[in-house]
Chain A
Amino acid sequence: MKESKRVLTKKDITKLGLLSSFLQASFNYERMQAGGFTVAQLPFLKKIYKNDKKGLSEAMTDDLEFINTHPNFVGFLMGLLLFLEENHEDRAIIKGLKVALFGPLAGIGDAIFWFTILPIVAGICSSFAMQGNALGPILFFSVYLTIFLLRIVWTHLGYNLGTKAIDLIKTNSQIISKAASILGITVIGGLIASYVHINVVSKIAINAKHAVSLQTDFFDKIFPNILPLGYTLLIFYLLKKKNVSPVILILTTFILAILLSFIGVL
């Protein structure tokens, strides 16, 4: 083990957590988040390498390689990598750790932030907002401000864990993603029942006095919300098995809705 030469302070790591928000500043399809990833670490790389221009240039070149991870968790990765830079570990280790970690972090981040927290928070806050209650957006903002500030915590965690971090991620990432997915999937089931509305207005005339309403006498008797469920699963099937683009599905849904409205079915 090389001797630890600490040049970064606790304050630096807090600052790094905030600067990690520039991750996507120059997002592009070729390198994805590489530009912002490098820029966020620059003040600290400069502090570590001081007058060593070659060292700084090498670190910058490595950081500019392709990376696509999660903006909320990237601080964890930056903290860990800067700990290694600070100790002047082998460049191959730093590069290897980055490549090994950014994918799993993106996966966990997407599962937690986009597929679990967003549907739940959006579902609850929207139900307030749609009643004209300002509590909806206020609650939404509070939740996301907290999530934003937690970036500082993840960054300290990454820095402090040093080389131990890789074991932690590797042993727990699958379990954490799985638990988050279960919560997300349960909520999506609930979201479909609550927020997709398909109401058939057609009636089948049996005689002059009686008519059977397709919605209340047929679909609702089989199962409430069976049409929203069926349509969502159809979309799921088309996306997954037929690789239909979401934009085409949105347009088709639109045209279908207008067409069915025109002929009086919906």
Chain B
Amino acid sequence: MHSITLVQGLLLAILAVIVGIDFWLEALFLFRPIIVGTLTGLILGDLQTGLIAGGLTELAFAGLTPAGGTQPPNPILAGIMTTVIAYTTGTDPKTAIGLALPFSFLMQYIILFYYSSFSFFMPKADKYAEEANTSGLIRLNILTTAIVAISYGVVVFLSVYVAQDLMKILVKSMPVWLGHGFEIAGGILPAVGFGMLLKVMMKGQYVPYFIIGFFIASFIPFSNLLPVAVIGAALAIYEYFNSKNKLVKNEMMAMNGDDYNEGI
């Protein structure tokens, strides 16, 4: 059992501001739980917990991406809170993922609110464009980014510093089956992420590759997924040249109009 000091709370808030801007812009990917968890661990002076919590959370969130303009449960709050809860309460990081989830949803909804409400800034932007007022448009963009950044700082400071006693009481009063349930949920949760990935990517023609990947990982015990990735890359390169050849053939057929009728 540890407590978060005021300095640690402020440092975590600053961390949240920085990685919050990074997530808003999708720039350096510092916002991923594996980085956020590690940095949180460093601030708390418990790198090991940060690494383990960050790694676990990263996997659970690997499929929850903002691709196509959708906003997933917030990876920053998940990374910070999983680490903080594991550190302050001594719970297993696997269990802590579940306890961190409400914070992650909270931030997700705040960002969704901004996505909608920032639409109201656009008429102003149009006016700046009409006047060719470049500094006005720059100011507007800085303002929106600053609103997001400050929100991250405030939410994280309140969550880690102000609400930490509440969290401890919650964890202490938790029955065994509930803790175990959280741990199990942590193990199954990646399925939702992978389901999301499949939803946007899966087509009938890709089923063989899915089966190959699943089989290799099920039957070759190895500490990471590199073998699967290498085989996947081989298949991708094969398909690339295959498709390219077909394209060249089609183009040749199109050029020689006479041959077209003889084909197939």
Give the interface of A toward B (CB within 8 A).
21-32, 34-36, 38-39, 42, 46, 53-54, 56-57, 60-61, 63-64, 68, 71, 106, 110-111, 114-115, 118-120, 122-130, 132-134, 136-137, 140-141, 144-145, 147-148, 171, 174-176, 178-199, 223-225, 228-229, 231-233, 235-236, 238-240, 246-247, 249-250, 253-254, 256-262, 266
Complex Cα gap A186–B202 (Å): 11
Which residue of the partner chain A has the closest CB to B216?
A190
Q: What is the minimal beta-carbon distance from B70 to any residue of chain A, in angstroms?
A: 9
Q: Within the complex, which residue of B48, B198, B228, B243 is in contact with A190, where a contact is CB–CB below 8 Å? A: B228
Complex Cα gap A129–B47 (Å): 10
Interface of A is mostly: helix
- Report A-chain residues with C-beta under 8 Å of the C-beta of B115: 27-29
Q: A122-B34, A123-B224 are in contact. List 10 more A-B contacts (CB 8 A).
A: A24-B26, A31-B125, A42-B138, A126-B34, A184-B197, A190-B217, A192-B217, A197-B187, A239-B195, A257-B181
Size of interface on B: residues with Cβ below 8 Å to A: 108
Report if A129-B34 is in contact (Cβ < 8 Å); known contacts: A194-B217, A196-B194, A232-B198. Answer: yes
Contact A64 B126 (CB under 8 A): yes
Contact B247 A175 (CB under 8 A): yes
Complex Cα gap A36–B141 (Å): 7
Q: What is the minimal beta-carbon distance from B222 to any residue of chain A, in angstroms?
A: 9
Q: What is the minimal beta-carbon distance from B6 to any residue of chain A, in angstroms?
A: 26
Q: Within the complex, which residue of A133, A140, A183, A195 is in contact with B190, where a contact is CB–CB below 8 Å? A: A195
Contact A124 B225 (CB under 8 A): yes
Which residue of the partner chain A has the closest CB to B35?
A137
Complex Cα gap A235–B25 (Å): 30
Contact B197 A182 (CB under 8 A): no
CB-defined A-B contacts under 8 Å, sample of 18: A25-B144, A35-B122, A36-B141, A39-B138, A39-B141, A68-B69, A114-B67, A127-B225, A133-B51, A137-B51, A141-B30, A192-B194, A192-B214, A196-B188, A224-B218, A224-B219, A238-B195, A261-B180
Contact B225 A190 (CB under 8 A): yes
Check if B119 is an interface residue, CB within 8 A of chain A: yes
Complex Cα gap A105–B96 (Å): 38
Report if A126-B184 is in contact (Cβ < 8 Å); known contacts: A22-B141, A26-B121, A60-B128. Answer: no
Complex Cα gap A235–B189 (Å): 11
Interface residues of B in 176-190 (CB under 8 A from A): 177-178, 180-182, 184-185, 187-190
- Report B-chain residues with C-beta under 8 Å of the C-beta of A28: 114-119, 121-122
Contact A257 B185 (CB under 8 A): yes
Check if B201 is an interface residue, CB within 8 A of chain A: yes
Contact A228 B51 (CB under 8 A): no
Q: Which of B9-17, B159-167, B232-240, B253-261 contacts A (4 or more CB under 8 A)?
A: B232-240
Contact A186 B191 (CB under 8 A): no
- The 0/1 profile, CB within 8 Å of A marked 1, for residues 130-161 of chain B is 11101001101110110000000000000000
- Report A-chain residues with C-beta under 8 Å of the C-beta of B29: 140-141, 144, 147-148
Complex Cα gap A236–B243 (Å): 28
Q: Which of A24, A111, A137 has the largest number of chain B CB atoms within 10 A?
A: A137
Q: What is the minimal beta-carbon distance from B68 to any residue of chain A, in angstroms?
A: 6
- Report A-chain residues with C-beta under 8 Å of the C-beta of B55: 125-130, 136
Report if A120-B122 is in contact (Cβ < 8 Å); known contacts: A38-B137, A249-B195. Answer: no
Which residue of the partner chain B has the closest CB to A107?
B68
Contact B185 A254 (CB under 8 A): yes
Contact B237 A179 (CB under 8 A): yes
Contact B225 A187 (CB under 8 A): yes
Contact A189 B211 (CB under 8 A): yes
Contact A181 B189 (CB under 8 A): no
Report if A190-B51 is in contact (Cβ < 8 Å); known contacts: A35-B141, A124-B225. Answer: no
Complex Cα gap A22–B51 (Å): 30
Complex Cα gap A241–B214 (Å): 23
Check if B196 is an interface residue, CB within 8 A of chain A: yes
Contact B206 A181 (CB under 8 A): yes
